[in-house]
Amino acid sequence: MYQADDSAPICDQAKTTCPYCGVGCGVTATLEDGAITAVEGDRQHPANYGRLCVKGSALHETLSERGRLTRPRVDGVEVDWDVALDAVAGRLAATRHEHGDDAVAAYLSGQLLTEDYYVANKLFKGFLGTPHLDTNSRLCMASAVAGYKRAFGADAVPCCYEDLEEAELVVLVGSNLAWNHPVLYQRLKVAKTRNPLMRVVVIDPRVTDSCEIADLYLGLKPGSDAHLFNGLLSWMAAKGRLDRVYLEGHTRGFGEALAAANADASDLEAVATDCDLDAEALETFYYWFASQLHVVTLYSQGVNQSTSGTDKCNAIINCHLAGGKLGLPGAGPFSITGQPNAMGGREVGGLANQLAAHMDYHTPGAIDRVTRFWRTEQLTPTLPKGPGHKAVELFSAIERGEVQALWVMATNPAVSLPDAARVRAALAKCPLVIVSECVTDTDLLAYADIVLPASSWSEKDGTVTNSERCISRQRGLLPPPGEARHDWWIICEVAKRLGYGEAFAYAHPSEIFDEHARLSGFENQDGSERLFDISALAGLDRAAYDALAPIQWPVTAQAPAGTARLFEDGRFATDDGLARLVPITPRLPEQRLSVARPLRLNTGRIRDQWHTMTRTARAPRLMNHRAEPFIEVHPDDAVAYGVADQRLAVLTAEAGEFRGRVRVTKSQRAGEVFVPMHWTDRFTKQARSGALINGHTDPLSGQPESKHGAVALAPLGTAWEATLLVAEDLETARPWCGSDYWARIPMRGCQRWQLAGERAENDWLARLAEWLPEAATLWCEDSGDGRLRAAAVKHGRLCWWAMVGLPAELPGLAWLEQRFNDAELSDTHRRRLLAGGDDGAADTGPTICSCHQVGQKAIVSAIRDGDTSVEALGARLACGTQCGSCIPELKSLIEEERAHERAKPTPETQVA
Ligand code: SF4
């Protein structure tokens, strides 16, 4: 058996990579006494050169073994590995025997390492003969993949991060880079400071923090991106701004693409009206784009997550090809992935329409080549002959009973897929659900027949590929807890039990990587057949693999040091070497608004959380920026629908609802609302964004339309609101979760619960006695208006603290949080419990700077005292001085205070 800890370093500092977003930052971890005690950015890593965002810098705070899965379970009973692996193999074999090879499927994740992905793909497609292996990366960047393939003949990101720094114009489309790829945003910001001629344009329906550095903001109507870029192509042609030499020498399809663009968008005024933009601002963008050669258009989920996502990508790429703006420093259409190893998954064939190593089923000779490489000629079944079900289709196939066994690894489709209620129904119906997971507390585990405890970040050992094709080592620094094992090991052990031991006899991930590298170069002389070629990395011994420095593919005999930028020679991966422009006829989003559901829904990430919060919620400081699920609403809509800032509301869609706290903001367009994608049933009553989204997908990429839903908004009628802080070791069956609203917010040493109910409570002390095992020892109550504060202290320790009243009335909770960590409360502290602290322990408000835990109220107070610049605030409060992610919010607060000052009545206006 592979020893989980045999790669643990003996040194006290080790280099690895961050497991969150697609930037793929290098991390230097400090190890002391078998624990990671600190992390900092790896100064040598080319993705971040020493920077980390707030999530990355809190990595070491997320590593507690509390809540980790440590034992396999079969049918709810803890078992040893032999029993669990036999059960997986036996039940998969039985399903295939009874229902056929296509009845088994796998659903993987961009959180897996490339080596995990490789063996999973090899087992399912190569040896079990099923094409139904897909990944949650389908939800994130499948449209970008399809767009690149149509244009370049390969899923090849042409740019590198340095291009962002070398560009004269950077266009962010559907990307809140400041929150979702913060280190890349910081790099762009520094480059813009160094090059005053650089311009940044933000194209996004929402005013996001990325607008902080925008020279031009285009707040377009959601879904109108392809129309806008068709307009750009048409405008460039009309103004003689095309690169005719490039078009003639390196592309095909321009005539058709231009004809489609002209038919759609030749009239600038009409395009501006259709996109809901100012015509002058739109033409300014067109002029800037057309007059610069060094243009990077960076796009992300705002473009991809659409039923016409692939077309949107190609509308962007068309404009770059028409202007010859790629294959150069500082130029190109640049898709940024959401997940740390979405790219690695694409490389091994982790999407259901791929076979392996960037070969599709229809790639000439691919099935035969992969069959010979994996030596599966003698097998029955043989490799599948065509693509399998993409994510949304896969769960429909489960619902129909066609797929009878599903193995899910490192993801949570019960939360993240659209049409979440149907997905849950399909999971409940599926006869065999196997889940490989790190933590005990996910919504998916309720549906699992077999649970396999997997290793997590800091334990996993392998490689990942970031958004600029850079392969980096993620190193195993600590042994997995308990019986947890690496995903590749689990897959190989199942393969052995199914009779494929010889093909899965890897002793270490370096051997898997070697095979992956060899397959990439198999019958692919120096990338002549397939662009993805890392054959020069084949044959690394264990030491060389362990020491592997970040390197960008292709890595071939001709380019042994890797390749920063693709298509510099103007040759593409199509059969004739020419790139393709694609005619685009824009389509509207599938989900239509109606009288019953008149608001357009947008969904997305927030700055301090990652996916379903299983890791980031373990670092309490990351919970303070946005503590509860929320609904962002334009002020006009707040009035129209009777909801108020910081009060609770409910969104209702065709298939589900979302309960959250309202944030009234002008950064939202009227008629549109935004909700975060992170909250699950583990953290709140009902705030899964997937419940609001229908399962409409892009016909080419299969990517769901997660950025577009139709909803109704209404206040959540509440007779009371309460805040409960409960000591961690006093957590019970949580009876308060029967309330009409609840949200759990992990803190240090306690859990905070925000609660609300629709029916009035008459006797709060009785209700608290019912909910909590310890009786109140201190309380004060205003029976007139139902307000109450109470606490329980036992043997000198604070057990719980409660306040009935609106959250706006809460004292600062930092003082109370400390009291939950006191071994024994002092008399002074006990006297101040109900007040929630010392006189000096004022509420500093929601956290703005998570690195230094600086709250909004403290910042506003400092601004009012005269610290009216980011630098002055940093000097006084330290906010914004570490990762810099909060600087846009600091600037917004400064602006708001200035506006507030300007709006104050002067003596003259008062007289008037
Ligand atoms: Fe991690 Fe992304 Fe932050 Fe880098 S920018 S530290 S990869 S979350």
Instruction: Ligand 1, residue 23: give the atom nearest the CA.
Output: 7
| Sequential DSSP letters for 252-269 | E-HHHHHHHHHHHH--HH
Cα 895 to ligand 1 centroid, rounded to whole Å: 28
Q: How far does CA 635 lie from the centroid of its chain? A: 28
pLDDT of residue 10: 45
Atom nearest to 56 CA in ligand 1: 6
3-class SS letters over 160-207: CHHHHHHCCEEEEECCCHHHHCHHHHHHHHHHHHHCCCCEEEEECCCC
Q: Taking CB atoms and a 6 Å cutoff, what residues make up the pocket around ligand 1? A: 18, 20-21, 23-25, 48, 52-53, 55-56, 181-183
47 C-alpha to center of ligand 1: Å?
9
d(CA 274, CA 262): 15
The pair of structure tokens assigned to 86 is 């036999």
Ligand 1 centroid, distance to 29 Cα (angstroms): 14
Q: 473 and 19 in contact (C-beta within 8 Å)?
A: no
Probe residue for ligand 1, chosen from 52, 189, 458, 474 as the CB with the greatest number of ligand atoms within 8 Å:
52
* DSSP bridge partners of 295: 169
The closest residue, in CA terms, to atom 2 on ligand 1 is 21
Strands of 77-78's sheet in order across? 77-78, 73-74, 450-453, 432-437, 405-409, 104-108, 133-135
Query: What is the Cα–Cα distance from 566 to 470, expressed in whole angstroms?
Result: 13
CA of 702 to the centre of ligand 1 (A): 27
Residue that the structure tokens 């119906």 belong to: 429
Predicted local distance difference test score (pLDDT) of residue 762: 85
Q: Tell which atom from ligand 1 comes closest to the C-alpha of 53.
A: 3
Determine phi and psi for 834, rounding to 5 degrees: -65, -35
Q: Check residue 908 and give its pLDDT.
A: 58
Q: Tell which one of 15, 17, 20, 611 to mutate to probe ligand 1, the residue whose CB is within 8 A of the most ligand atoms.
A: 20
Tell me the one-letter amino acid at 272.
A
CA distances from 123 to 28, 127, 412, 504, 697 (A): 34, 5, 21, 9, 28
The per-residue pLDDT for range 691-703, each reduced to its tens digit, is: 999 889 999 999 9
State in Å: Cα 530 to ligand 1 middle. Answer: 30
Quote the ligand 1 centre to 640 CA distance (angstroms): 39
Task: Pick from 43, 57, 181 the residue to mutate for probing ligand 1's pocket: most ligand atoms within 8 Å of its CB.
Answer: 181
895 φ, ψ (degrees, to nearest 5) = -60, -45
Q: How many CB atoms lie within 10 A of CB 325?
A: 25
Q: Which atom, in ligand 1's list, is nearest to the CA of 24?
A: 7
- Cα(416) to centroid of ligand 1, in Å? 21
Do the Cβ atoms of 132 and 104 come closer than 8 Å?
yes
Q: What are phi and psi of 444, to 5 degrees?
A: -70, -30
Ligand 1 pocket mutation, candidates 16, 25, 42, 176, criterion most atoms within 8 A of CB? 25
23 CA distance to ligand 1 middle (Å): 6
Atom of ligand 1 nearest to the CA of 183: 5
Low-confidence ranges of the chain (pLDDT < 70): 1-11, 381, 838-843, 905-912
What's the pLDDT at 98? 97
Do 695 and 704 touch, CB atoms closer than 8 A? yes
Considering only CA atoms, which residue is closest to atom 3 of ligand 1?
53
Ligand 1 centroid – CA 184 distance (Å): 9
CA 850 to ligand 1 centroid distance, Å:
14
Nearest Cα residue to 163 out of 338, 328, 343: 328
- Residues 868-882 pLDDT 10s: 989 999 989 988 888
Long-range contacts of the stretch 217-222 (C-beta < 8 A, 24+): 218/275, 218/277, 218/281, 218/282, 218/285, 219/276, 219/277, 219/669, 220/275, 220/276, 220/277, 221/274, 221/275, 221/276, 221/669, 222/589, 222/600, 222/602, 222/672, 222/707, 222/708
